[in-house]
Amino acid sequence: MNFLRQQFPLLIALVTGLVMIAQYYIAGEYSRDLGGKAADAYIIIQGIVIYLGIFSLLHSHIGKVTRLEAGWGYSIFMFLGIVLMLVAGFWSGGRLDEGTPYKWLYDNTIVPLSATLFSILAFFIASAAFRAFRARSVDATLLLTAAVIIMFCRVPWGEYLAGLISEEGGPAATRAIARWILEVPNVAATRGIILGVALGIVATSMKIIFGIERGYLGED
């Protein structure tokens, strides 16, 4: 029993990890086919996981409603949403064609609700900029200056006004500063982050493959 709980998952991780790494570096049809099969397996598992996710969501919200926890009313809306979309989906034969109830619900609930939620970010950004963008130190002043230049120069009216303010060079000179910020310090910093993250992923993957990192088994 202990073998099935502890050693067996580690063995699966070890074999799968090593095989997938190896197939990436070995040319040939067999290796290519293996990569395709592994991708297929992942796609199938993810398809199953969607249903598992729905089950988990329902289970969690049923608990909330039966225990009358704070905010249980929102769970009712969640159930209503799921039932409504399921009925509309089956009614429309799972098709998002124009004129079907499924498409109508998509256009009139998912689209505006998602767009609204995302749009609210603009208000938070404006409020956060007011509260946080303060020249408290040299670093903060540099960040603030770069942000103001980029915000000003990356919009058409900003470029136009910059041209009116400074006739020599005009928008081209202002844009050059904004481009330099984007193409030099930004690219350098982003590259550093990307490389750092990639090395971190390699290290963590190695730890999982060789059984050093066992967090996914529920161990500390």
Partner 1 sequence: MPAISQDPLLIRRLIFLLLAVIVVGTLLLPLGTPPMVVNQESQDFYDAVAALKPGDPILISFDFDPASKPELEPAARALLRQAFRRRLRVVTLGLWQTGIGLAAEAIEAEAEIARSRFPQEGENAYPQYGKDYVFLGWQPGQFALIVRLTEGIQGAFPREFRGAETERLPIWNGSNGEKVRTLGDFPLVVTISAGNPGIDEWIRYGRGKEDFPIATAVTAVTSPGRMPFYKSGQIIGLLAGMRGAAEYEYLLNRSEDPEKFGVTPPPLVAALQGMNALSASHFLIIGLVVVSNIMYFTSQRRGRR
How many residues at the interface with partner 1, by CB under 8 A? 60
C-alpha radius of gyration, the chain, whole number: 27
Residue from 54, 62, 84, 110 binding partner 1 (CB under 8 A): 110
Share in percent of the chain as helix, strand, coil (round to 5): 85, 0, 15
Measured distance CA(172)–CA(177) in Å, rounded: 9
Q: Is 122 in the site for partner 1 (CB under 8 A)?
A: yes
Q: If binding is defined by CB under 8 A, does position 56 make contact with partner 1? A: no
Q: Distances from the Cα of 173 to the Cαs of 58, 83, 150, 166, 181, in angstroms?
A: 58, 58, 13, 9, 13
Window of 7-15, 56-64, 68-76, 184-192 that interacts with partner 1 by CB under 8 A: 184-192
The smaller minimum CB distance to partner 1, of residues 15 and 151, is found at: 151
Contact at 8 Å (CB) between 133 and 145?
Answer: no
Q: What is the DSSP letter of 218?
A: T
Integer Cα distance of 126 and 120 in angstroms: 10
164 is an interface residue for partner 1 by CB under 8 A = no
Shortest Cβ 161–partner 1 spacing (Å): 9
Residues found near partner 1 in the complex (CB under 8 A): 32-33, 35-36, 38-40, 42-43, 46-47, 50, 96, 98, 103, 106-107, 110-115, 117-119, 122-123, 125-127, 129-131, 133-136, 144, 147-148, 151-152, 154-160, 171, 175, 179, 182-183, 186-187, 190-191, 194
